[in-house]
Amino acid sequence: MKQTSGFLKPLVAQRSGQMLVVAACLMVAMISFLGLVTDVGLIECNRRHAQRAADAAAQAGARELLAGASSTHTANALSAAQNYAFQNAILAGNVTVELPPTTSAYFNGSNRFVRVHVVRPTNTTFMRLFLRLRTANVTASATAGSVPNPIPITILALDPSASAALKVSGGGTLRIVGGSVYVDSNSDVAASIDGACTVVATEFDTVGGVDHPDQIEGTVATGVGVEPDPFASKVAPVIVNSSTVSYPDGTTGSTSPSSGGTATKPASKMVSGDTTLYPGIYWGGIKITGGNVTLMPGRYIMAGGGFSVSGSGTGITGTDVFFYNTQDPYKTTGAGAFADINLTGGANLLAPTLEADGYYKGFLFFNDRNPANNTVIKLAGQIAVGDSAPLKGYLYTANGSVDISGGSGSAGLGVVANTIKVTGGATLGAIDRNRIPSIPIVRLVE
């Protein structure tokens, strides 16, 4: 048997030693790599946490801005954004809230958006051994704001239980264009359609039932969920003293020079001839019985007395006008009490566009939500239909009712009311998108 030469033994031992060195180096490299992977994973986990915190904080702040843009609303938005960041384990010194944004790519200077920056320090493990990096600061940013979305509903009856919350009677056709019909009542007869009437609507939805669904041309769905008031977050004007009204966009108004009364002595502004009326507070409302009347653009506050138009030959023109119907807080009886909106004469009234009134865009008549205000918005008489429709905008009365009769209506109108009654047919539908209220939706935008 052949013997191994003696000089090979040291070579074998030397190779064994080299393998140990290589294995040790590989082990160190593998451990370093695993350590790096662990730290990167930890940093990525914290980055996601920081981004979620920034997203939640920005959206929380933006939701507060739905109520308005006054200094109070701004302070509430800043506080909400910071609180949500804290609740997501971001320390106070590591949160920066910008309102309006100053470092956004697209929304700098806009007070409808909130931008949040957060920093989340992350302790490292293996990085501190090799890179002497004990802490990695993970950052994240988010911008959120309210994005307008035109309301898709033409008629919405809000009463949750009334029988015939929507009542169509008297013959004729109720024609809905440009939107759907929704009835929130859970009554067996939430919507009552007289046998002699026809309703034409692409979509007709009710929580409760319909007594004559065969009289409806379009898709009818019963037993649907409740549709919430789309304008619930829209803040109403507030009369703050005997000469001033405050608006949620941070502006104020005063008593109109055309007002017929004062805060302590309300009296309706009586108009029977040609005249021009100016926006502001009307202590005791407006009553027009004749003449050609021009309403200048702006916000009209009916502090008691309501708003009425009657008499043949009466013509009213108002472009970019908004009416808020409330009571005189200094004298709630007589001319200062809640009163109806009543249009039985000729009227050409157009709700504000976005350019004319960024907050009350699309609202023609807006009734005080006070539960005691169960007044009626009445439209009577033939009103033209089409692009030339003289009434454009939405009628909104959360606790009151809307009564449309005599073939009235306009292809420029939408209705959101507690209850709605249509007699003798009508055509409704806010098809002028420039004068449709927008429902603000809070969204992350960057």
Average pLDDT over residues 369-377: 92
Confidence of residue 405 (pLDDT cuts 50, 70, 90): confident
End-to-end CA distance of the chain: 82
For the cut 90, the answer to whether the pLDDT of residue 38 exceeds it is: no
Q: Please, what's the b/e burial string for 209-245 (b: 16 or more CB within 10 A of its CB; e: otherwise)?
A: bbebeebbeeebebeeeebebbbeebbbbebeeeeeb
For the cut 50, the answer to whether the pLDDT of residue 1 exceeds it is: no
Confidence of residue 126 (pLDDT cuts 50, 70, 90): low
Q: How far is CA 181 from CA 137, 149, 223, 429, in A?
A: 53, 18, 14, 10
Read off the DSSP letter of residue 2: P
Kindly write down the DSSP assignment for every residue of 183-212, as one continuous string.
Answer: E---STTSEEE-TTEEEEEEEEEESS-BS-
Percent of the chain with pLDDT over 70: 84
The token pair at 402 is 């809307």
> How many residues belong to the chain?
446
- In angstroms, rounded to a whole number, what is the distance separating the alpha carbons of residues 154 and 147? 20
In the chain, the amino acid numbered 203 is E
- In angstroms, rounded to a whole number, what is the distance separating the alpha carbons of residues 60 and 71? 17
The whole-number pLDDT of residue 29 equals 60
Beta-bridge partner residues of 323: 300, 365
For the cut 90, the answer to whether the pLDDT of residue 222 exceeds it is: yes
Pairing of strands 113-123, 135-150: antiparallel
**Would you say 145 and 445 are in contact if contact means Cβ atoms under 8 Å apart?**
yes
Give the DSSP H/E element, type plus range, for residue 315: strand 315-319
Beta-bridge partner residues of 255: 281
Average pLDDT over residues 309-321: 82
The better pLDDT of the pair 121, 282 is held by 282
**Would you say 208 and 185 are in contact if contact means Cβ atoms under 8 Å apart?**
yes
**Would you say 112 and 65 are in contact if contact means Cβ atoms under 8 Å apart?**
yes
Tell which residue, 222, 185, 215, has the closest CA to residue 199: 215
- In angstroms, rounded to a whole number, what is the distance separating the alpha carbons of residues 257 and 277? 8
Average pLDDT over residues 382-410: 74
Average pLDDT over residues 73-96: 88
The whole-number pLDDT of residue 125 equals 67
The whole-number pLDDT of residue 176 equals 87
pTM given for the model:
0.74
CB atoms within 10 A of CB 28: 10
The whole-number pLDDT of residue 390 equals 75
Read off the DSSP letter of residue 410: B
Average pLDDT over residues 290-314: 89
The whole-number pLDDT of residue 324 equals 98
The whole-number pLDDT of residue 381 equals 64
For the cut 50, the answer to whether the pLDDT of residue 384 exceeds it is: no
Mean pLDDT score of the chain: 85
Read off the DSSP letter of residue 10: H
Percent of the chain with pLDDT over 90: 51
Degrees (nearest 5) of the Cα angle 111, 229, 224?
135
- In angstroms, rounded to a whole number, what is the distance separating the alpha carbons of residues 259 and 268? 8
For the cut 60, the answer to whether the pLDDT of residue 438 exceeds it is: yes
**Would you say 260 and 334 are in contact if contact means Cβ atoms under 8 Å apart?**
no
pLDDT digits (tens, 9 = 90+) for 150-159: 788 899 999 9
In the chain, the amino acid numbered 352 is P
**Whose structure tokens read 């409740």?**
226
- In angstroms, rounded to a whole number, what is the distance separating the alpha carbons of residues 403 and 380? 8
Contacts of 67 by beta carbon, 8 Å cutoff, 6+ apart: 73, 76, 233, 235, 248
User: To the nearest 10°, the Cα dihedral for 411, 413, 418, 424?
Assistant: -40
Confidence of residue 96 (pLDDT cuts 50, 70, 90): very high
Contacts of 115 by beta carbon, 8 Å cutoff, 6+ apart: 58, 97, 98, 99, 101, 102, 103, 104, 107, 141, 142, 143
* Burial zone of 70 (CB within 10 Å; 0-12 exposed, 13-18 middle, 19+ buried): middle
pLDDT digits (tens, 9 = 90+) for 229-254: 999 988 999 999 999 999 998 899 99
The better pLDDT of the pair 364, 31 is held by 364
Q: What is the CA radius of gyration of the chain?
A: 33
Contacts of 369 by beta carbon, 8 Å cutoff, 6+ apart: 236, 398, 399
